[in-house]
Structure 1
C-alpha cells in the first residue's frame, strides 16, 4: 500500500490492549495551552476595556482588514436581504427548504408555562421566558457555514429571543453570500464581520457598537473556544465544541461506497475530525477501506480527509453487534449512524449519542443541512451528559410559588425545623412568623 492510500488503524474487540487503544483513540484535549490562554486573556481584556478600538485593531491584524470605523465591519438588514434576493434560485430554494424543516422541528420543542394547585390552595408552577439577546458565532475559516446560521438562529427565534446578533470573520473583507442570505432568512438583526476571541469578547462585554448578549452560541477554532470558556459566567455559552465526529455501526450489508463517503463527510471538516466504523464483518471493513481509497482522489479536500483518517480514524472489528453497541456507548459519538437492517431494535441499547441516524438511507450529511433536528451536537464524549442545541437553550425556567395561609403555616413548621438544624435562625423565624399559633 502506498503512503498516499488510506489505512485506518484497526482495533479488535477482545484484544488485551483494546481498552487502552480505544482510550488513546478517543483522547482529545479541548483545553488550550498556556500560550493560547495568555493570548486570549489579553484580547478579552483589551476589548473589554477599550471597546471598538481594540476590536478594530485585532480584526485588522488577524483577518487582514483595513477597517477604520465600526461601519466598515457592520452589515444591516437591507444588505442581508439583498444577499438573499441575489442568490441563484437553486441555492435560495435549498436554503428555504432547509429553514422550513429546521423551524418545523424546533417548534415542537417550545415549552409552556405550567402550574398545579394543592388541596390547601397553594399554587406551584413554572414560567418559561426567552433570553433577551443572543450572539451567534459563525466560523469563516476553512469553509463557509450557512447551515450553522440556520441551526443557531432559527431555534433562538422560535424560542422568542428578541434580538439575534451574528459575528462572522471576513478574511480580507470577504464574506460568503450564502452566509448572509441565511442570516436574512433566519431573521438575524445585526451582523458584524469580525471573528476570533475579539468577537467573543465583544459579544460578552459589549462595546460602543456591539451590544452585549445574554448567551453566545456557535462553534469556532481553539481561540474562540478558549474565549467562550473565559467569558462564561459573564454570559451563557452553548458548549465547548471539539472536532466533528462520526461513528458508523454496520452489519456489513450496506454499500461500502456509501459508508466510505459517510466517513469522509465528517473527516473533511478538519484534520482533527474523527471517523470510526464498527462491524462484526472483517471482510466488510476491508471493502470499505478499498472504497475509501477508490473515492479519495476525487475529493476536493482529500488532504484534510487523509490527515483525519490517518490521525484519528479507526475501524473496529467486534465479535457481534451487541459488543459493538457497548463500544458506541463508550465513545458517546456526536453523530451515530445505525447502518443496519433493523435500527429500531438497537435504540434501547444506546445511551449516549448526540444524534442517531437510522437505517442505510439516512446519511449523516442530511442532518447537517436539512433533516430538521439541530446539527449543533455534543462532541468529545460529552453526549454522556449533554444534548443537541435546541429551543430550550434559548429559554429560561422560573419557579412560581404561591402559598395560601394554611399552606404557609404547615410548610413553615417543616422549614423551621430544617433551618434551625442548619443554624440559620433568621430563616427559621421568617417561616415561623407565618405559622398559625
Structure 2
C-alpha cells in the first residue's frame, strides 16, 4: 500500500506483508491517483485489443463454431449447446437454501422498488401557435446482460442488470456468463436468473460472449443493448461493438475511496477497503483522511484482518499495488482530491456526511456514515451497483432503467405554427448553404421570401 502524508521526506516503511510508501505532499497524491486511474492502459490494453479484435472477427464470421472453439480453449469444456434450460434454473432456485432465497427476494424487492421510480415520463408540450411537441420513451426489444464468472460468482450482478431491464419493459432479456470446466454455472446465479424472469441463459463468457450478443449466432440472438461488468477483454469487446449495439459503460477494475475524519473507526475503514480489494488484483482501495492516527494505524489493521483471509493473495496484490492513503489538513481538501479522482464508490466516514456530500460533484455512488458501507450498495441498497469507474464518474452515472430505453422526438406543427416560423428556418438554412432545406420551406408557401 502506498501511503502519502504531508511530510518533508519519503520513507519506505517495512511491513510483514505490505509495502507502504510515504510521499511528501498533495501534488504527489494527485500523481498517485492518476496512476490508479490509468492502471489498465498502456501495454496491457494494447495486447488485449489484438486478442479481442481476432475473437470478434471470428465470432462474426463463424458464429457458434467459433464460440465452441473459444469456450474449449478458455473455459476448458466442449459445448454441444450453450443454452441453460429453464428447468435447470427452476431446479437451482428450489435447491437454494431458504435463508439465501429470502435474501435474494429482499434484494430483488428493494432494487425493483428503486428502479421503478426511474421510469422516464413521456413529454407533450403545446407551443405558442398550436404546434405539438413531445418525447416518447420505448424499451429496446432485446437486451443482453453479462454476468462475470472466474474468481467469484455474482448473483447480485444478475439482479442489478435484469431488474432495470424488465422494469423498462424489455421484451426479451438474454444472459451470458462463463461456466466452469464442467460447463456448469453457479446455482445461485441461475436462481437469481429464475426469479428475475430472464428469458434465455447461455454458458459462454469473455469477448466471444459479447460478440455473440452484438452480431448474433445460430443459437444466440442479436440484442440491442449489452450491459454488465467484466474483465479487460469483456470491456474492450463492449467498446469495439458499441455503435452496432448500445452499451451501459466501459467498467474498469472496481475502486473505493473513503474520506474519514476522527469519528471513523479503524476496523471499519480496513474492512471496507478489503471488501473492495478482494474483487480483483487490479481493484483499488483509497483512504483520504484528516486523522493522522488512523493513517498510521491502518496498514497494521489491514494486515490483522488479512490473517486467514480466503482471498489473501488477491487482497495483498490489490492493496500493495493500488492501495493508497492520503493525509490532508481538512475535509475540504479531501473532497477536492476525491473529485479529482471521481471514484466509483465514495464512502464518507465523517461526523457530518450529508453536509460533506453536498460538496462532492464526481462519484458513481456516495455512501454516507458508518451504517452505509459499500457492501450495502453492492447487494440490496436499491440503486444500481453497476457504476462508472476510472474517472468516468466525471460525465457518467449508474446503470438504470433508461439504459434499456430510447426516446423518440415528436413534432406536429400546425399551418399557423409553420407560417410563424418559416422565415427563420429559411434564413438559418441559407446561412448554412443548404439550398434544399430552404426550398422545402418555400415550396409549402406561395409567398416569396
* Shorter-chain TM-score range: over 0.9
Q: Structure 1 residue 2: deviation in Å?
A: 6.0
2: CA distance between counterparts of 1:132 and 1:393?
13
Aligned counterparts, 1:6-25, within 5 A: 6-11=18-23, 13-14=25-26, 17-25=28-36
2: CA distance between counterparts of 1:378 and 1:51?
31
2: CA distance between counterparts of 1:19 and 1:98?
37
Aligned counterparts, 1:274-285, within 5 A: 274-285=284-295
Structure 1: state its 5+ residue gaps: none
- Structure 1 equivalent of residue 270 of structure 2: 260
TM-aligned CA distance change 1:52 to 1:4, over 3 Å: same
The answer to whether structure 1 residue 29 and structure 2 residue 36 are counterparts is: no
Q: Give the secondary structure class of the aligned counterpart of 2:78.
A: coil
Q: Structure 1 residue 398: deviation in Å?
A: 1.0
2: CA distance between counterparts of 1:266 and 1:8?
18
* Native 8 Å contact 1:250 1:338 kept in 2: yes
TM-aligned CA distance change 1:25 to 1:212, over 3 Å: closer
The answer to whether structure 1 residue 293 and structure 2 residue 314 are counterparts is: no
* Native 8 Å contact 2:216 2:223 kept in 1: yes
- Structure 2 equivalent of residue 166 of structure 1: 175
Size of the aligned set, in residue pairs, is 433
TM-superposition CA deviations, 1:137-170 (whole Å, max 9, x none): 1111100000000000100100111100000111
Aligned equivalent of 1:112, options 121, 129, 139: 121
Aligned equivalent of 2:261, options 251, 255, 259: 251
Q: Structure 1 residue 253: deviation in Å?
A: 1.6
- Structure 2 equivalent of residue 221 of structure 1: 231
- TM-score, with length taken from structure 1: 0.96
Aligned equivalent of 2:312, options 292, 302, 325: 302
TM-aligned CA distance change 1:353 to 1:311, over 3 Å: same
Q: Give the secondary structure class of the aligned counterpart of 1:239.
A: coil
- TM-score, with length taken from structure 2: 0.93
Aligned equivalent of 2:136, options 120, 127, 134: 127
- Structure 2 equivalent of residue 336 of structure 1: 346
- Structure 2 equivalent of residue 374 of structure 1: 384
Q: Structure 1 residue 8: deviation in Å?
A: 4.2
- Structure 1 equivalent of residue 191 of structure 2: 181
2: CA distance between counterparts of 1:29 and 1:66?
31
- Structure 2 equivalent of residue 99 of structure 1: 108
2: CA distance between counterparts of 1:118 and 1:350?
38
Aligned equivalent of 2:64, options 36, 46, 52: 52
2: CA distance between counterparts of 1:337 and 1:61?
40
Q: Give the superposed CA RMSD.
A: 1.6
2: CA distance between counterparts of 1:25 and 1:160?
38
Q: Structure 1 residue 196: deviation in Å?
A: 1.1
TM-aligned CA distance change 1:2 to 1:325, over 3 Å: closer
* Native 8 Å contact 1:6 1:292 kept in 2: no
TM-superposition CA deviations, 1:279-335 (whole Å, max 9, x none): 111111123223212111132111111111110111100011111111010010000
1: CA distance between counterparts of 2:37 and 2:241?
27
TM-aligned CA distance change 1:109 to 1:257, over 3 Å: same
2: CA distance between counterparts of 1:38 and 1:17?
34
Q: Structure 1 residue 23: deviation in Å?
A: 2.7
Q: Give the secondary structure class of the aligned counterpart of 1:277.
A: strand
Q: Give the secondary structure class of the aligned counterpart of 1:304.
A: helix
Aligned counterparts, 1:182-197, within 5 A: 182-197=192-207
2: CA distance between counterparts of 1:220 and 1:235?
17
TM-aligned CA distance change 1:8 to 1:99, over 3 Å: farther
- Structure 1 equivalent of residue 5 of structure 2: none
Structure 2: state its 5+ residue gaps: 1-12
Q: Give the secondary structure class of the aligned counterpart of 1:346.
A: helix
Aligned equivalent of 2:402, options 367, 392, 397: 392
